Amino acid sequence: MGLFDSFKRQANRFHTETDPEQSVTSSAIDSRDEEAAATPLQDAPRDEDAREEEGNSSADERETVVSRETSDEEETAQSAADMYVATPIKSYAEKKPVKHVVGTTKVIAILNQKGGVGKSTTAIDLGAALGELGKQVLLIDLDPQGNTSSGLGIEKNRLDQCIYDVLLGEASLTDVIIPDVCEGLDVAPATINLAGAEVELVAEMARENRLKEATGAVRGRYDYVFIDCPPSLGLLTINALVAADKLLIPIQCEFYALEGVTKLLDSMKRVKTHLNPSLDIFGVLLTMYDGRTTLSKQVASEVRNFFAKRVFDVVIPRSVKISEAPSFGQPITQYDPTGKGAEAYRALAKEVISRG
């Protein structure tokens, strides 16, 4: 009998002796986990209530509560699944008639090659706020991440075609547009297929002009076309720069906010010189502003010094509701209609309209 066997024997004895204790502890933990799983959003306030209740109620009573909550959840999940099957994806031919006369269409690319600065959020929430004000808006999702599409509740895996097919010349823009996703708001969605476009377009003729040709066909049908760009300056972004009349540059109020902006402006100038002479900045938008921090104030004043009047007066505040809205497939104007985020994007929509 070696050292290893003696260790095994000791280990076995230890487990046998401690098993009863352990099983009590683990079953207590398991039942707490079940309760927590049944009420995931009420953890913190419920903990104290639950402890008080535990003193008064028996374990059997608690078990009944857990199983009832679980079956409620199952029912909700089942009815959600039923709704999912029942909702067909609309085609452009089913679009509600536009009641007003659309004047000049403004094509605006929402661009900053820095990631996570609020491009997609602004595309969705500004688009929805303009729609609420009676404007006709098209959002073109030009990012393979497809955040604008999923943030509006579009299930990308159910789509046969997306903006990728348009860029490759295999569909027209109206073939892929999903109309009236919200009031006045249509979406040309993106799926992960779009990730291949950067490579596949390289071999194509007039590859920088693909989106310009596509948007040309819908000019006169929308007041605003917003293009949500990916966080890079590759061929997809160049397509957006060629197609756009103007740029909207969101800048997050954080350290290094202006990092990379010079590169972005260089790209804009290059496209302006060679491909799109009228391209210009429409506005610079300060996002995720937190008025309680000196950093936000410093960044805001630095950006205003750099871009002067091009910066929108309206500043988008940092708001948990804004960040939650996409997971409910809704713009902030629907998810939290009276909150500060919705108010800010509505005010921005008015400023956008006033800029012509």
Binding partner of 333, given ligand ATP, Mg ion, none, CB within 5-8 angstroms per partner class: none
* 186 touching ligand ATP, by CB under 6 A: no
Location of structure tokens 């085609």: 91
Q: Which of 150, 239, 276, 287 binds ligand ATP (CB under 6 A)?
A: 287
Binding site for Mg ion (CB under 5 A): 119-120, 147
Residue 334 sits in the site that holds ligand ATP (CB under 6 A): no
* Burial letters 204-232, b for 16+ CB under 10 A, else e: eeebbbbbbbbbeebeebbbbbbbbbbbe
CA 279 remoteness from chain centre: 26
CA 96, distance to chain mean position in Å, is 25
Q: Which residues contact 289 (CB under 8 A, 6 or more apart)?
A: 253, 296, 300, 315, 316, 317, 318
Residue of 111, 126, 140 whose CA lies nearest to 230: 111
Contacts of 297 (CB under 8 A, 6+ apart): 291
- 293 neighbors 92 (Cβ within 8 angstroms): no
User: Which of residues 174 and 299 has its CB atom nearest to ligand ATP in the complex?
Assistant: 299
Quick one: 111 or 214, whose CB is closer to Mg ion? Answer: 111
Shortest distance, position 110 Cβ to Mg ion, whole Å:
9
**Span from 185-193, 276-284, 307-315, 321-329 in contact with ligand ATP (CB under 6 A):** 321-329
How far is it between the farthest Cα atoms of the chain?
Answer: 94
Taking the complex as a whole, the smallest distance from the CB of residue 286 to Mg ion amounts, in Å, to 17
Binders of ligand ATP: how many residues, by CB under 6 A?
Answer: 19
Nearer to Mg ion, 124 or 349 (CB): 124
Pattern 121-150, ligand ATP, x by CB under 6 A: x---------------------x-x-x---
At its nearest, how many Å lie between Mg ion and the CB of residue 178?
18
Stretch touching ligand ATP by CB under 6 A, among 68-76, 95-103, 115-123, 299-307: 115-123
